[in-house]
Amino acid sequence: MKKGIYLAIIICALSVLALGCESKPAATTVQGSDPATNKPTPADTKDNQEEKSQEIKVYYSDVQVMQLEPHTQTITFKEDSEKYSAAYAALQQSDQKELIPLWENIDLLSAKLEQGTLTLDVHIPDKARMGSSGEILALDALKKTLFQFDEVKNIQLLVDGKQTDSLMGQAELENPLTRE
């Protein structure tokens, strides 16, 4: 019986000792860092980046869908690679009643710049389809807006991940669109 009590006391003492070791304060780490290396993690670095802003001209159609009109917008982004998506988003909405955003209903699936070629993958629902003059103006609006970025030399436009001969079936689409 005494043997059982001694064994219980030893187990309790070892348990208390083990718990005490676990509650020691950990080494100091920088908040938002990998505890093993004490370096910022990529996700934390991206989240803590300050937003950048840039003023660009965004091109919209006039009410008669006859010509393009520039309108100055300020886009915001955290990384340079995000500015193309921000510029595209600006093409989708106008704060001016007299300016029609031709890309309003066309969803951007992805935007990626590699070696001077900006590849945009879009989805065009039926409600976004236009006649030939609207399609030509939409392509011109896209080019004029995105070729403001010096690093963009070409725009490869994909529809649902595929290269097509026409954006909406009305006007011929160059592959890729080139800076004029």
pLDDT of 38: 45
| Strand pairing class (107-114; 117-123) | antiparallel
Query: Residue 46, exposed/middle/buried by CB under 10 A (0-12, 13-18, 19+)?
Result: exposed
Domain ranges of the chain: 51-178
pTM above 0.85, yes or no: no
pLDDT of 1: 53
The SS3 assignment for 117 reads strand
Average pLDDT per consecutive 10 residues, the chain (180 residues; last block may be shorter): 49 45 40 48 58 97 96 96 97 95 97 98 94 94 98 97 92 91
